[in-house]
């Protein structure tokens, strides 16, 4: 699964900042959902994060990273960023806003820096895995290293499991 065939902009940014990372490619597997990606990479789905872009009632955009097996709790997410409410942006708005398409959206290298919140469960792992900015590619690095290239806060932002 690991391969360095094609570099994405995210990988270039990490290299420019001298951030160690591992890259994964699953482009030839046909998997789509985050859970399928984690399975294709033979990784813990709690350690593989999806990037979600939202808009608040006040018109501000926010980025949230949650484990692929969990769902973003919109109320918790709104509270984490000090908003009354937030909702997911429409798929067609993603590319013009971030420079990324649905399924290949990374928190690193967006057109503009948005307030970013990573689910607090990320602290349970030495590293997390997230999109490398292109469908079929993921990168893995530590939160400590990620801080060098992305400003984020850690909060409980997922729907509670019953």
Domains of the chain from N-terminus onward: 9-155 (3.90.960.10)
Q: Which two tokens stand for residue 44?
A: 């813990």
Per-residue pLDDT, 1? 45
Percent of the chain with pLDDT over 70: 96
Rg (CA), the chain: 15
pLDDT above 80 (res 88): yes
> CA end-to-end span of the chain, whole Å?
34
Contact indicator for 119, 158 with CB cutoff of 8 Å: yes
CA distance 54 to 137: 22
β-strand pairing of 61-67 with 86-88: unpaired
pLDDT above 70 (res 65): yes
Q: What is the mean pLDDT of residues 70-99?
A: 97
pLDDT above 60 (res 70): yes
What are the tens digits of pLDDT across the range 134-156? 999 999 999 999 999 999 999 99
């Amino acid at each position: 699964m690991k391969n360095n065939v094609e570099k994405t902009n995210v990988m270039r940014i990490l290299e420019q900042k001298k951030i160690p990372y591992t890259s994964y490619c699953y482009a030839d597997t046909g998997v789509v959902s985050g859970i399928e990606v984690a399975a294709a990479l033979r990784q813990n789905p709690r350690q593989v994060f999806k990037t979600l872009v939202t808009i608040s009632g006040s018109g501000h955009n926010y980025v949230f990273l949650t484990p692929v097996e969990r769902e973003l709790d919109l109320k918790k997410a709104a509270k984490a960023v000090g908003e009354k409410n937030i909702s997911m942006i429409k798929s067609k708005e993603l590319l013009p806003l971030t420079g990324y398409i649905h399924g290949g959206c990374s928190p690193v290298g967006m057109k503009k820096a948005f307030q970013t919140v990573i689910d607090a469960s990320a602290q349970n792992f030495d590293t997390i895995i997230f999109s490398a900015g292109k469908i079929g590619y993921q990168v893995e690095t530590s939160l400590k290293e990620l801080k060098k290239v992305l400003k984020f806060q850690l909060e409980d932002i997922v729907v509670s499991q019953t």
